[in-house]
């Protein structure tokens, strides 16, 4: 992924997807494990990520199939499906009980692909 140009976008579907990615990161931040049910955190993350995958799929289907110089020779559609793959990896990690820090790292990669200003890393618990 390094070296890939960031993926930008616009429109309501993109804005909604950005909201889901930010919500997923927010769900990991500032909640001490001792006071919250880990299964509940995972359940909330799964719901958020499933919604994000649905939005990314909608945007990906609408993307142009023509390659352009601004995206390193990849079509917009291909870049969106790449983002969809990253979201699927995050979702897979949540479902497989991967460490929350690894899930956070995967979400940060999604933010990078979407050209979002990264939120600060989630502190270890």
- Residue 2: predicted pLDDT: 42
pLDDT for residue 121 is more than 60: no
Name the β-bridge partners of 75.
67
Q: How many Å apart are CA 60 and CA 14, to the nearest integer?
A: 10
Q: Per-residue pLDDT tens for 42-86?
A: 888 888 989 988 888 888 887 766 655 555 667 778 888 888 888
Residues in CB range of 81: below 8 A, 6 or more apart:
60
* Chain center to CA of 68: 23
């Amino acid at each position: 992924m390094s070296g890939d140009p960031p993926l930008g976008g616009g429109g309501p579907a993109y804005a909604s997807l950005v909201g889901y990615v930010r919500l997923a990161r927010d769900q990991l931040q500032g909640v001490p494990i001792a006071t919250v049910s880990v299964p509940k955190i995972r359940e909330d993350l799964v719901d958020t990520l499933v919604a994000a995958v649905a939005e990314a799929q909608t945007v990906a289907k609408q993307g142009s199939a023509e390659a352009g110089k601004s995206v390193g020779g990849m079509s917009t559609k291909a870049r969106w499906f790449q983002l969809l793959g990253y979201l699927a990896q995050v979702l897979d990690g949540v479902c497989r009980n991967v460490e929350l820090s690894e899930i956070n790292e995967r979400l940060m990669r999604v933010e990078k692909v979407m050209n979002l200003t990264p939120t600060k890393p989630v502190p270890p618990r």
